Amino acid sequence: MTKHILPLVALLLLQTTSDANAQSARNNALTEARAHRWDLPLAGGSAEKNTDIVHSRLVKSAWGPFANGGFMFKDSSDYLYSHDLGEHVHIGWMYDTMITVTRYPNTTRNSVRSLHTFGTMNRITDQETQWWDSTNSAWFAVGKLQHTYSGIDLLSTVKSDYVNGAWTPILKTEYYTNWTANTKTTLLQTWDAAQSKWVYDQREVTMYNSMNWEDTIKKEKFVGSAWVAEKITAFTNTTRPGTLIERFVKVGSAWVPEYKETNTYNGSGHRTESEFQTYNQLAGIWNDPMKEEYTYDLHLNPTETVTSNWVSGAYQKTSREVASYNKYDQLLISTMYTWDANFSQWIHTAADIEQRNYYKEYVNMAVSDTKSIADVSVYPVPASNMLNVETKDNQSSIITITDMLGKAVKNVQASNVPGGVVAIDVQDMPAGVYLLRVDGSRGTATKRISIVR
């Protein structure tokens, strides 16, 4: 099938919420400009590639004590255990299966464990969840996820529940990336037990521009025998991705605004200000906006976030978060403040302070020092939807994102990426602080990043 991609129609900014003609013109332009861009096959043929998820196998040589006061040890049956001071997490190995057990002492919560089975290239192929039956003193299956891959690329995930002694499929998610058409598709299917087959339910198609930045995201529902658009998110990209983000929903036959976000960046590509606004569909007007302002230290760690609400025609401060870091860029103290309008000052209580303690452990290693990559840029920081990692010489690399406890949450392998910019989807990651490590053909680099919601 020949695919015709229309040139983008220039989208005019909405000047006033009461101008129905301008709103209608903008919606029509958005629809017309992108209508044919979604008439794409789900698979991308030989050009198909997906670098969403790469799972890393736990290394057995990790030992404690750890910062949270726990410890790790290995027993004679080749199990590796990790204990913390609150919820007890046990990590064990038996052949090619990793077993993670979470126990909740002194509570009414059930203990739960996950069995992870690995296939080729240490990819997780099965994740089975089991609960502890204290009455019968036995584990019983609850649900599982099954993953299929093509090389390092995740192709599909099937979710099943254990019902009446048998596994029953529930949901199937398939991933397609077509770099030729600059699209990424996530397809959701549900299991039709009566027909014993998978049926289409929803899909999300993301279009990227030549810089590998998000351009549009379209969410559709399968109705009858056709895909029906429900929501469109449009990105206006200037020198940085997502300078303006607008989301529209389908109401009847018309596109109606739902949300918009305006982002301002500094010279290093870090976000300094974001303004958020939602649309009141019943009243046909935009609700009062709110904004966040971000400040960074010399290491580009976010040190201050100030939130303000629009009140009586002007922004008024409401809250403020102040953070400090050690020389390793680890968060030490985070303090939340609220604005006291009566005395025009920030105030806080002892409960608003979060403090973390770290320790240093020196270990002699029989390996040489790793060469550091100098030219690696990460933006935007903080991020909410997409995180871009740019290497100046477009080198092949493995990008790993870990939480502050060292657990890998994302792992992406990239080579010959257009523009040398790897776009990582972080929408599924909880808000917080993470470490990003780039292992490239010319060395390594580590960056501290933060995710906001």
Residues paired with residue 331 on neighbouring β-strands, in sequence order: 325
Q: What is the mean pLDDT of residues 42-58?
A: 26
Q: How far is CA 264 from the centre of its chain?
A: 21
277-310 per-position pLDDT tens digit = 999 999 999 999 999 999 998 888 889 999 999 9
Q: What is the token pair recorded at 320?
A: 């403020």
Q: Which of 20, 16, 18 is nearest to 255 (CA)?
A: 20
Record the tokens describing residue 260, joined without a space. 């918009």
Backbone angles phi, psi at 122, to 5 degrees: 60, 30
What pLDDT sits at residue 66? 33
The reported pLDDT for the residue numbered 102 is 52
* Cβ–Cβ < 8 Å for 319, 339: yes
Q: Which tokens sit at 32?
A: 């017309």
Confidence class for position 203, pLDDT limits 50, 70, 90: very high
pTM of the model: 0.57
Amino acid identity of residue 221, one-letter, is K
| Domain covering 20-281: architecture | Beta Barrel (2.40)
Nearest-CA neighbor of 378 among 317, 315, 420, 336?
420
Q: pLDDT per residue over 380-420, tens digit each?
A: 888 888 888 887 666 678 888 988 777 788 888 877 666 67
* 376-451 homologous superfamily: Macroglobulin (MG2) domain (2.60.40.1930)
pLDDT digits (tens, 9 = 90+) for 224-242: 999 999 999 999 987 788 8
Mean pLDDT throughout 82-96? 40
Q: Which residue has the higher pLDDT, 4 or 430?
A: 430
Question: Same topology for domains 20-281 and 376-451, yes or no?
Answer: no
pLDDT > 60? residue 214: yes
Q: CA 259 to CA 275: how far, in whole Å?
A: 11
pLDDT given at position 207: 92
Where residue 120 falls among pLDDT bands split at 50, 70, 90? confident
Going by their DSSP bridges, the two strands 166-178 and 153-163 should be labelled as: antiparallel
What are the percentages of helix, strand and coil residues in the chain, rounded to 5? 5, 55, 40
Mean pLDDT of the chain: 73
Contact 97, 115 (CB under 8 A): yes
- Which of 34-43, 176-185, 308-317 reaches the highest mean pLDDT? 308-317
7-21, 248-262, 304-318: which has the minimum mean pLDDT?
A: 7-21
Domain boundaries, the chain: 20-281, 376-451
Per this entry, what is the length of the chain? 453
Burial of 143 (0-12, 13-18, 19+ CB in 10 A): middle
